[in-house]
Homo-oligomer: A and B are copies of this chain.
Amino acid sequence: MAGPGVTAAEARERIRHGEHTGPTVGLAPGHVQANLVIIPEEHALDFSRFCVRNPKPCPVLEITEAGSPVPRTLAPGADLRTDVPRYRVYEAGELVDEPVEIRNYWRGDLVCFLLGCSFTFEAALLAAGLRLAHLDQGRNVPMYATNRECVPSGPFRRPLVVSMRPYRPKGVPRAVSITARYPMMHGSPVHIGDPEALGIGDLEQPDFGDPVDVHDGEIPVFWACGVTPQAAALEAGLPLVITHSPGHMFITDRRDAEYAL
């Protein structure tokens, strides 16, 4: 189990009181940050099944009770209506608001899914001396829609989204084995090398995030990405879906190292 998680609770308190409304990267280091997808209970079983069928992009860390904003296993003192720095609210798949709290959108039938995020394995890569090109270049990680369909469930169906990090050949095996230790944070890569085999025509035109320079001799390495479940939820056309805003994650009490195999 986690230690007292003081720094995580402190970070959430600052966020709750509007003192931090920006991205969460670097906050409460060592603590698991999570993707958030909130949907009506009516669709929660279908979404849960979608996640079970596609565990690499959709590793579920917690599902809350309908109407409860408390993630009881990840952070029992937190409130998912206020403790994320910025949310995105979608109605019938259309973005209608990007607020700093969602109390006025809250309903008794809403279920929160918290999913593992690549921040955990990125910290492990950095700790092992494997640099992150997007960090070095001051950009967001590039993400791409692929030609690989996820296994559908009910209204949830979409192609896998991947994130890409380039490495030199000698770094690739270490990047694989380090990230494989975190199956609940997308785990090992889904693909190494040829972008075209994933249906990615041009690495310089990511579907989400920013392009990064891939230098001569570097190989693009692709990991399953948490944008997949978010996009699946949006594209299902549900009357209401609420997610975190990109990079504005939920900070849990749990520690990255607890999830390492």
Give A residues with C-beta under 8 Å from B: 41, 44-45, 48-49, 52-53, 60-63, 65, 72-73, 111, 151, 153-154, 180-181, 183, 187-188, 261
Contact = CB atoms under 8 A, between A and B. Distances in A.
B72 A49 contact: no
B52 A60 contact: yes
Contacts of A73: 53, 151
| Residue among A45, A111, A183 having the largest count of chain B Cβ atoms under 10 Å | A45
A65 B72 CA distance: 27
Main secondary structure of the interface of A (DSSP, over half): mixed
A148 to B, nearest CB: 12
Contacts of A61: 52
A183 to B, nearest CB: 6
A182 to B, nearest CB: 10
A236 to B, nearest CB: 15
Report, nearest first, the 7 A-B pairs whose CB atoms are least far apart: A49-B63, A48-B48, A45-B45, A52-B60, A52-B63, A44-B45, A53-B73
A116 to B, nearest CB: 12
9 contacts: A41-B45, A45-B63, A48-B48, A52-B61, A52-B63, A53-B62, A53-B73, A73-B151, A261-B261
A53 B73 CA distance: 7
Contacts of A53: 62-63, 72-73
A188 B261 CA distance: 9
A52 B151 CA distance: 19
Given A52-B60, A73-B151, 9 more contacts: A41-B45, A45-B63, A48-B52, A48-B63, A49-B63, A52-B63, A181-B261, A188-B261, A261-B261
